[in-house]
Structure 1
Amino acid sequence: MWHPTRRQSWAIRLIALLGLFVSDRVFHLWPSKGATVAYLIVLGLLIVQGWSALANTRPSRDMGRKSGSG
């Protein structure tokens, strides 16, 4: 699994905020597309944050052992 570094996680947050802003603008033109994009961006951000939180709680040797099966 890919685990974002601190700098990458900040970049992901900025991209997500930009995506929400753009999708809000698009929402006025294509409501269904704008809502779908916003939901996907928020869902992806939550998944990334959840994975990084799991990576921070687990011991590093445990991650190394489970990386093959994951």
Structure 2
Amino acid sequence: MQKMYLNASLAFLFLSISYYQIKYTVIRQRKQKLADPFLPHSIQMIIGNHMRLCHQIKLQIVEPQ
């Protein structure tokens, strides 16, 4: 049970990190006044990394090793 709470808090931590990574990327782009064509791509990469981490954590919750 404790491991499940740990995994859930880890997932939340990763989510907050991803959120701030996206926010920082957007703010940095606005400051540089650049319409970066790679901005959506980098946001997608951050979200993709987060989804992969959450999926790994979910697998550990369902099937603890």
Q: With the length of structure 1 as denominator, give the TM-score of the two structures.
A: 0.61
Structure 2: which 5+ runs fail to align?
A: 1-5
- Corresponding residue for residue 52 of structure 1: 57
* Alignment match of 2:13 (pick from 11, 14, 18): 11
Q: How does 1:12-31 map to 2 (within 5 A)?
A: 12-25=14-27, 26=29, 29-31=34-36
CA distance in 2, matches of 1:35, 1:53: 26
- Spell out, residue by residue over 1:25-63, the C-alpha distance to the aligned partner (whole angstroms, 9 max, x if none): 3275242231221011000011011111111111x3xx3
CA distance in 2, matches of 1:53, 1:7: 12
Aligned residues: 57
Q: With the length of structure 2 as denominator, give the TM-score of the two structures.
A: 0.64
Q: Which has the higher contact order (CA 8 A, sep 6+)?
A: 2
Amino acid corresponding to residue 44 of structure 1 in structure 2: N
Structure 1: which 5+ runs fail to align?
A: 64-70
1:43 aligns with 2:45: no
- Across the aligned residues of Structure 1 and Structure 2, the Cα RMSD in angstroms comes to 2.3
Q: Percent identity?
A: 7
